[in-house]
Amino acid sequence: HIELEQSVAVKFLYPEFARNADGSERFRREARAAAKIKNQHVTRVLDVGAMEGKNIPYIVMEYLEGHDLSREIRERGPVPVALAVRYVMQACEAVAEAHERGIVHRDLKPANLFVAEGTHGERMIKVLDFGISKVNGTGGAQQVSLTGTATLMGSPAYMSPEQLESSRNLDGRADIWSLGV
């Protein structure tokens, strides 16, 4: 951010997906869903918009130092039990707030759990990528479904049996299953 002299992360939707109305709406929904969650274990969304003249959506988010948990496991092997418990508890805190706001993530896996490095060297989990989240009709606004009944949304290795059957009719229990896996 030039005026504030801060690094930010900018996520763009590929132009070929931006031309698809469902893809663009899903991208905007990701920004709206993440912005509703004020938990320290969810990446803060700072802005959302579209590039002028090209109609390519973007999301501006806090910049994180670190790497995803998938990379940590790949490079270092299994996470020590005490640290794994701390990471899962932090992810649970974020997911609990998402569920309170009617948001089901639907794609919790190590690649969407970011091990962020804090200013004093402390490490904490940040839940990423609400791109296929489901927002249940809370707050009076009816959500238009972008997911067909037979559409598989998420990463099969981490999905609950219910999610494998239908990504559309889920509640927060699917996320709890994925965190357990």
> Which is the catalytic residue, given 107, 129, 171, 175?
107
Q: Active-site residue 107, yes or no? A: yes
Question: What b-and-e string marks burial along 141-178, b requiring 16 or more CB atoms within 10 Å of the CB?
Answer: eeeeebbeeeeebbbeebbbeebeeebeebebebbebb
Q: Any idea which residues carry the catalytic annotation?
A: 107
